[in-house]
């Protein structure tokens, strides 16, 4: 059976991981399996930047992926980057198997405010849908309310809703139907 695997990369609140997983299962029509947590990604730390390479975290997630997993999502509290950007809220392989989201800049404490667990949960769910959506072949959406719209900062995340827009839902469902018919995994080129 194909599932979406989820793994905390370093310490992450288990109820938050569970809430993200429940939403992903409803959105992408697949069960979610929560895997044993992975250790902190010390191998991905860049001392010059004081951040963690999302590319290296993605590689480590791919090594953990079981063949029965259609996709795997890592969730970390570490601040992620790619060389061309000062930070990323997440990253995914387009039409691939792995994605990761960072909670660092989704937390109110990052901006000097008191913790807000409900706001963090809402933001994390939107970003998880966004990144897992990329693995299923969804690209950035022009609808700013759709979780597939591009987010360059937390204010953009707050503008989004947690549910795919009609256009993105249609694209996903078409790909999912092909996959169910035996034409390959959702999002696969072909």
Residues marked as catalytic: 131
From the list 100, 119, 111, the residue with the least C-alpha distance to 158 is 119
CB-neighbour burial class of residue 164 (10 A; exposed 0-12, middle 13-18, buried 19+):
buried
C-alpha distances out from residue 111 to 5, 87, 126, 157, 160, Å: 30, 15, 19, 15, 19
* Strand-pair partners of 73: 6, 99
DSSP one-letter string for 128-149? HHHHHHHHTT----S-TTSTTS
Q: How far is CA 100 from the centre of its chain?
A: 5
């Amino acid at each position: 059976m194909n599932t979406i695997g989820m793994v905390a990369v370093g310490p992450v609140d288990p109820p938050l991981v569970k809430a993200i997983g429940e939403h992903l299962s409803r959105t992408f029509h697949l069960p979610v399996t929560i895997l044993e947590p992975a250790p902190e990604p010390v191998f991905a730390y860049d001392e010059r930047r004081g951040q963690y390479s999302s590319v290296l975290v993605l590689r480590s997630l791919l090594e953990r992926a079981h063949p029965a997993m259609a996709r795997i999502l890592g969730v970390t509290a570490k601040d992620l980057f790619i060389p061309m950007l000062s930070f990323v809220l997440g990253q995914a392989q387009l039409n691939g198997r792995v994605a990761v989201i960072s909670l660092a800049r989704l937390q109110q404490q990052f901006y000097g405010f008191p913790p807000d667990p409900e706001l963090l949960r809402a933001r994390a769910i939107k970003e998880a849908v966004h990144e897992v959506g990329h693995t299923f072949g969804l690209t950035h959406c022009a609808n700013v309310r759709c979780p597939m719209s591009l987010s360059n900062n937390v204010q953009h995340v707050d503008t989004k809703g947690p549910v795919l827009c009609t256009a993105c839902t249609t694209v996903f469902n078409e790909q999912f139907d092909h996959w169910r018919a035996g034409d390959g995994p959702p999002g696969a080129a072909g």
